[in-house]
């Protein structure tokens, strides 16, 4: 059965890989990006490809784009919230505008798209929303604090969304990719460096000196096809050995700390009757 995808951030990186994988298997794709044209794709996919120019931070525009997509193809089956940006810098260095900008795309953009597609998926009684998160949502790391925060927010919202949408036959999966050769790092913005963080920046530079060894985005696209083909997709899917090992290690260390402080945690709870009202 031919399925219809709605993919944000479709003009480059993982979004482009997802778009091509869906088209190559014979599906239909609404390819969404700030700047996108049919000519951005080497092959002519005819009526199966609908490129739409869209800024996902504009809620009104998102609602209109989703309506146009449904009108064009008749339905949506798979929605991939892939659009994202990255701003690097120490938490103290971020201006209000820089902090808000990080959330506008990574969190609010995904929220607006999720809200816009849900009425259509509910009416169908089926659909799959895939939220592209990040390895950064496994924990906060120096210089990626606000990026991590935006992805933590995305995951918290998506966990609730998964439970709310399940009653209508709509599935939600959070995908946490590791490193892929995209332009995320080359296109990212940075804060104005604060002098006290110089030594930490130098230490981070040493750690990154050997450069990144990342994967072909097509491997992520292959995993995506397996995910959406599953009758029982997971709430979370890790992509890559490095991110898998990191997730296990972070979870283990958290459990060790929880166990070490277990008694303090338990002592902080003791049920009592509701306090009497001062007006009583």
**Residues assigned a catalytic role:** 133, 147, 151
Helix (H) or strand (E) holding 51: strand 49-53
Determine the Cα angle at 101 with ends 99 and 104, to 5°: 115
Neighbouring residues of 19: CB distance < 8 A, sequence distance ≥ 6: 5, 7, 10, 29, 31, 41, 49
Go through the chain and tell me how many residues it has: 280
Neighbouring residues of 156: CB distance < 8 A, sequence distance ≥ 6: none
Question: What are 199's two structure tokens?
Answer: 């030594």
Closest CA relative to residue 113, chosen from 17, 238, 10: 10
Q: Are 170 and 118 in contact (CB under 8 A)?
A: yes
């Amino acid at each position: 059965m031919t399925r219809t995808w709605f993919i944000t951030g479709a003009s480059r990186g993982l979004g482009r890989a997802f778009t091509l994988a869906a088209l190559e298997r014979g599906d239909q794709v609404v390819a969404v990006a700030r700047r996108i044209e049919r000519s951005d794709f080497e092959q002519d996919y005819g009526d199966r490809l609908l490129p739409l120019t869209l800024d996902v931070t504009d809620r009104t525009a998102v609602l209109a784009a989703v309506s146009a997509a449904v009108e064009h193809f008749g339905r949506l089956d798979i929605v991939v919230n892939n659009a994202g940006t990255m701003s690097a810098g120490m938490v103290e260095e971020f201006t209000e505008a820089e902090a808000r900008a990080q959330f506008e795309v990574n969190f609010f953009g995904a929220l607006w798209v999720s809200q816009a597609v849900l009425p259509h998926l509910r009416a169908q009684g089926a659909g799959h929303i895939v939220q592209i998160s990040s390895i950064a949502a496994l924990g906060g790391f120096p210089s990626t604090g606000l990026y991590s925060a935006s992805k933590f927010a995305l995951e918290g919202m998506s966990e609730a969304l998964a439970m709310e949408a399940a009653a209508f036959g709509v599935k939600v999966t959070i995908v946490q990719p590791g490193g892929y050769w995209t332009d995320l790092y080359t296109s990212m913005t940075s804060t104005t460096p604060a002098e006290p963080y110089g030594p930490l920046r130098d230490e981070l530079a040493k750690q990154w000196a050997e450069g990144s060894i990342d994967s072909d985005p097509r491997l992520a696209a292959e995993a995506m096809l397996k995910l959406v083909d599953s009758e029982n997709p997971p709430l979370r899917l890790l992509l890559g050995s490095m991110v898998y090992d990191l997730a296990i290690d972070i979870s283990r260390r958290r459990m060790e700390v929880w166990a070490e402080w277990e008694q303090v945690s338990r002592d902080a709870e003791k049920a009592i009757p509701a306090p009497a009202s001062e007006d009583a």
